[in-house]
Amino acid sequence: MSQQNISADAQPNVKYNQVGKSLTRTDAPGKAAGRTPYAGDYVMPGMLHMRVVRADIASAKLTRLDVTKARALPGVVCILTADDVAGREAATDIPGQTGQKRMDTDQQILVHERVKYYGEPIALIAAESRDVANAALELVEFDLEPIPGVYDPEEAMKPGSPIVQGIDNIVAEHKIRKGDPEKALAEADLVIENTFHTPFQEHAFLEPEVGLAWTDENEVVNIRVSTQVIEHFRAIADAIGVPHNKVRIRGALVGGGFGGKEDVTVEIYLALMAKATGRPVRLEYTREDSFVGHGKRHPFKLTYKTGVTRDGRITGMDVYILADSGAYVFLSPYVLLYGAVAAPGPYKVENLNVYAQAVATNNMFTSAFRGFGGMQACAAYEQQMDEVAKALDMDPIEFRRRNYLKTGEAISTGFVPPSAIWTEECVDKAWAALGEPTVSSDHIKIGQGIAAYQQSYGRLTFLHDTSECWVGVEMDGTVIVRSGVTDIGAGQISALGQIAVEVLGVTLENVVIYNSDSAVTPLAGTTTATRALYMTGNAAKMAAEAVRERLSERAAREFDVQVDQIHMAFNVVSVIDNPDKSMAFVDLVKICASEGIHRSELSMFRAPFSDYLNPETGQGQAHPDYVYGAQAIEVAVDTDTGEVEVLKSIAAHDIGQCINKAAVEGQIEGGTQNGQGYALSEEMLYEEGKLVTPSFSEYLMPTSMDMPKVQTILLESRSGLGPFGSKGIGEPALTPVAPAIANAVANAIGVRIFELPITPERIIKALKEKQAAN
């Protein structure tokens, strides 16, 4: 294991038996042995194979659709077109178990007449075999008459521009205002203005979207699917026109999500086809389907005006954010809101104006992606901090130090996060660990950079989020955890086990966790928004504590001591002051069983509920709480070729409290890869809305040869709202990576590239411009 990890304990005396350790995750051995069935690994007798026919022009009118030839192909069983789903739409708004009002963002299921983006589904094919389904795909004939489209959000806002959504293409707006930003900027010693561009990004989970659906003896449509959100069953039922209790989602361990399996993907197509054919149907996206079949990260354009005093204090800030929502709305309003709330970063800005707009275009629709708007904001505000420091001729860390938001101070929305704000600690530790820069040589220039961040965990509080978990003890002392939570690879379910065994004083080998069945496991909400540990972890802890309370009461009677004298750890129950008095956990359980003492509990955890933010000022509570941390990066830039090598990557995050240390480090290391790709190499290129990089040989995420060994520094303030004072790390892990790399590159070559990704090409161009200017 890496020894570099330093922890700054807030309460060094806290001792856990299971929590905080790098235990082998419950799901790992099965995955290593190839024994874990993923959604795509299930088959059923009589199963049909599906393919999706897609539009090959981004903005067009469907003038002819002829499926006769395809239908005539032997082995083709069913082809569905818009005519078969007349009058039905699919909801694309935030999935919820909360009953909050949804936005009006419904979308056609199959192209009826108007194609709005490249790859929009036109027809669904089901056939007896994959080969036949593939062949039928080529036999479906359709004509698309091009309609002028719009591919740039700024163009899309201009009068006379083609309309993609609503009356003016503007699908969302948010404002945040406090203090007197105009006055502050007018009176500032210095105002620095810069505009930053962030790109589309593909989630690139390794497991393409896949599912298997069938109708059971109760006329319930069952869907075994790779999803982050089993509670889409309601939206799916609405879309296919059945009551909510007639759709059951059975998840599986997910082969990566990152937000890309947060919206509905294959579910509605599967459900429609299972109903239409009465047979089990399977749909697996090809990689190219996946590239065009789910929403991407929103490209943002962010303009920052920062007013400062000569001695480096931010007096005011004005931020304009423009996001490309693509052809449909999906989660754009929420992503945009995250961006607006995060806009000033982890800094104290008393006079603030943020105006954010999301605009529809005929590009691929954009939606959830790890970091969810907050990371785009960070990509801009942390580069802006370096630019302002440069203008002030001040050390970038010193400039940050003068402006950090401190524990107990209010963020942009006026809300005071209830937990510790350890930005400064994280920055200092990460920077110190980076050490002295490697020496530059002839055409290799070395640079170092830092970025700090603020990222929420838990969903928007006006969504009134809840989560349930059930914990029970079997008669042989083994433990069962049941919760609807989906596990997208971060160890979500293993963490629930680790929490339950900590509380119950047993060991992780003795736990089995059942998850992600919308009909059977208690509904736990989504695995999104860095909420699974916070929400479901708390529910698991509450349930385990309730069971423990009853067991320890009985043990106290057995030993004739007070309840608070009972200690439970490693399958043994003992008396704290008299450890000789003890018994095996299983014996206590047997006593409880024979006396009818309830050995299980179903608990619901509720996040703080709030109203919607003030629409004019954006003031109020947006999220339950925030995570703070930093990334430090060293790069080598080849000035002949523009190639960038990341030499050192150091992450310091206050995660509140580790549940599984290796899993936390894993999130951070993986987030670093994702952020490094975003900063340097991942590029989705579109021509008139058509994706021209739809494969992993064109869309380039970092390989093993591109990644440095990531060094992680974990700080534990134990101040979070999650179980044992934990916060969350899923999204925060990624947030500061790209701006830290951008700052390191700017430091290396002495010129900033304001658009991500920082490709070799852009570096050469910037160097040439710099040379010409000198």
**Residues in contact with ligand FES by the rule CB under 6 A:** 206, 256, 489
The answer to whether the CB of 511 falls within 8 A of the CB of 480 is: yes
Q: Which of 4, 9, 11, 30 binds other proteins (CB under 8 A)?
A: 30
Q: Residues with Cβ < 8 Å from 54, sequence gap 6 or more?
A: 118, 119, 120, 121, 122, 289, 292
- Residues 6 or more apart whose CB falls under 8 angstroms from that of 322 comprise 153, 154, 300, 301, 302, 356, 357, 358, 359
Q: Does 40 bind other proteins (CB under 8 A)?
A: yes
CA distances from 224 to 231, 282, 353, 593 (A): 13, 9, 46, 35
The nearest distance, CB 206 to ligand FES, in angstroms, is 4
By a kind-dependent CB cut-off of 5 to 8 A, residue 663 interacts, out of other proteins, ligand FES, none, with other proteins
| Stretch near other proteins under the rule CB under 8 A, chosen from 255-263, 265-273, 342-350, 605-613 | 255-263
Binding residue (CB under 8 A) for other proteins from 82, 213, 252, 254: 254
The three-point CA angle 407-410-413 to 5° equals 145
Least distance between other proteins and beta carbon 287 (Å): 4
| 206 or 705: CB nearest ligand FES | 206
Backbone angles phi, psi at 198, to 5 degrees: -120, 150
424/487 with CB nearer ligand FES: 487
Cα–Cα distances in Å, from 563 out to 549, 552, 580, 585, 601?
8, 6, 17, 16, 19
**How near is the Cβ of 30 to other proteins at its closest, in Å?**
6
Nearer to ligand FES, 33 or 206 (CB): 206
Of 199, 255, 373, 497, the one binding other proteins by CB under 8 A: 255
- Using CB under 8 A as the binding criterion, the count of chain residues that bind other proteins stands at 85
Q: How far is the CB of 143 from ligand FES (least distance, A)?
A: 34
- The partner in contact with residue 772, picked from other proteins, ligand FES, none with C-beta cut-offs of 5 to 8 angstroms by kind, is none
Q: What is the 3-state secondary structure (H, E, C) of 643-684?
A: CEEEEEEEEEEECCCCCCHHHHHHHHHHHHHHHHHHHHCCCC
Among 489, 497, 629, 722, binds other proteins (CB under 8 A): 489
Count Cβ atoms within 10 A of the Cβ of residue 615 and give its class: 0-12 exposed, 13-18 middle, 19 or more buried. Answer: exposed
- Amino acid letter at 555? A
Among other proteins, ligand FES, none, what does residue 15 contact (CB within 5–8 Å per kind)? none
β-bridge partners, 677: none
Residues 680-709 that bind other proteins (CB under 8 A): 680-681, 683, 685, 692-693, 695-698, 700-707, 709
Question: C-beta of 462: minimal distance to other proteins in Å?
Answer: 31
Residue number, 127 or 239, with CB nearest to other proteins: 127
Element (H, E) at 629: strand 625-638
Shorter beta-carbon distance to other proteins: residue 594 or 697: 697
Q: Using the minimum distance from each CB to ligand FES, give the nearer residue, 256 or 537.
A: 256
Q: Judged by CB, which is closer to other proteins: 96, or 730? A: 730
Q: Position of tokens 């994959």? A: 130
Supply the minimum distance, in Å, between the C-beta of residue 207 and other proteins.
Answer: 4
| Closer residue to other proteins (CB): 350 or 645 | 645
3-class SS at 104?
coil
- Within 430-459, which residues bind other proteins (CB under 8 A)? 443
- Measured from the CB atom, the residue of 168 and 288 that comes closer to other proteins is 288
Q: Are 667 and 734 in contact (CB under 8 A)?
A: no
| Cα–Cα distance measured from residue 423 to residue 731, given in angstroms and rounded to the nearest whole number | 16
Q: Provide the 10 A C-beta neighbour count for residue 1.
A: 8
How far apart (Å, rounded) are the C-alpha atoms in residues 55 and 51? Answer: 13
Binding mask 513-552 for other proteins (x = CB under 8 A): ----------------------------------------
With CA atoms as reference, report the closest residue to 356 among 202, 192, 177, 180: 177
> Are 22 and 667 in contact, with CB atoms under 8 Å apart?
no
Q: Count Cβ atoms below 10 Å from residue 128 Cβ, excluding itself.
A: 16
How far is residue 555's CA from residue 563's CA, in Å, rounded to a whole number? 8
Smallest distance, other proteins to C-beta of residue 435, A: 18
Residue among 80 and 253 whose Cβ is closer to other proteins:
253
Footprint of other proteins on residues 162-221 (CB under 8 A)?
Answer: 203-208
Q: Which is nearer to ligand FES, 253 or 388 (CB)?
A: 253
Report, in Å, the least distance between residue 685 CB and other proteins.
5
The whole-angstrom separation of Cα 247 and Cα 550 is 37
Stretch that binds other proteins, among 130-138, 342-350, 358-366, 714-722 (CB under 8 A): 130-138
One-letter amino acid at 228 equals: Q
| End-to-end Cα spacing for the chain | 49
Decide if 196 contacts 304 (C-beta within 8 A). yes
Of 443 and 598, CB closest to other proteins: 443
Which helix (H) or strand (E) segment holds residue 196: the answer is strand 190-198
- Residue 71's binding partner among other proteins, ligand FES, none (Cβ under 5 to 8 angstroms by kind) is none
Which x/- pattern over 645-664 shows residues binding other proteins (rule: CB under 8 A)?
x----------------xx-
431 near 401, Cβ under 8 Å? Answer: no
Smallest distance, ligand FES to C-beta of residue 489, A: 5
Query: Which residue lies nearer to other proteins by CB, 316 or 666?
Result: 666
Whether the bond into 757 is cis, omega within 30 of 0: yes
Asked if 46 is part of the footprint of other proteins (rule: CB under 8 A), the reply reads: no
How far is 510 from 263, CA to CA, in rounded Å? Answer: 34
- What residues have CB less than 8 Å from 170, skipping those under 6 apart? 157, 357, 358, 359, 360
Nearer to ligand FES by Cβ, of 254 and 479: the residue is 254
Q: How far is the CB of 48 from ligand FES (least distance, A)?
A: 23
Q: Does 6 bind other proteins (CB under 8 A)?
A: no
Residue 461 per-residue DSSP state: G
- By the 8 A CB rule, do 144 and 60 touch? yes
Q: Which residue number is nearest to ligand FES in terms of Cβ?
A: 206
DSSP state of 263: S
Say if residues 346 and 405 touch (Cβ distance below 8 Å): yes
Place of tokens 């856990």: 16
Q: What Rg value do the Cα atoms of the chain yield, rounded?
A: 27
Among 118, 200, 233, 258, binds other proteins (CB under 8 A): 258
Query: Which among 26-34, 86-94, 100-108, 109-117 is the span making contact with other proteins, rule CB under 8 A?
Result: 26-34
State which residue, 487 or 654, has the beta carbon closest to ligand FES. 487
Cα distance between residue 678 and residue 701, in whole Å? 8
d(CA 197, CA 304): 11
Find the binder of other proteins among 5, 7, 17, 22 (CB under 8 A): 22
User: In whole angstroms, how close is the CB of 190 to other proteins at the nearest point?
Assistant: 36
With binding defined as CB under 8 A, does residue 343 bind other proteins? no
Helices (H) and strands (E) in the chain, counts: 18, 31
Instruction: Using the minimum distance from each CB to ligand FES, give the nearer residue, 373 or 730.
Output: 730
Binding string, residues 281-320; x marks residues near other proteins by CB under 8 A: ---x-xx---------------------------------
709 binds, among other proteins, ligand FES, none (CB under 5 to 8 A by kind): other proteins
The least CB distance from residue 25 to ligand FES, in Å, is 11
Task: Kindly indicate which of the ranges 410-418, 469-477, 533-541, 640-648 contains the residues binding other proteins, using the contact rule CB under 8 A.
Answer: 640-648
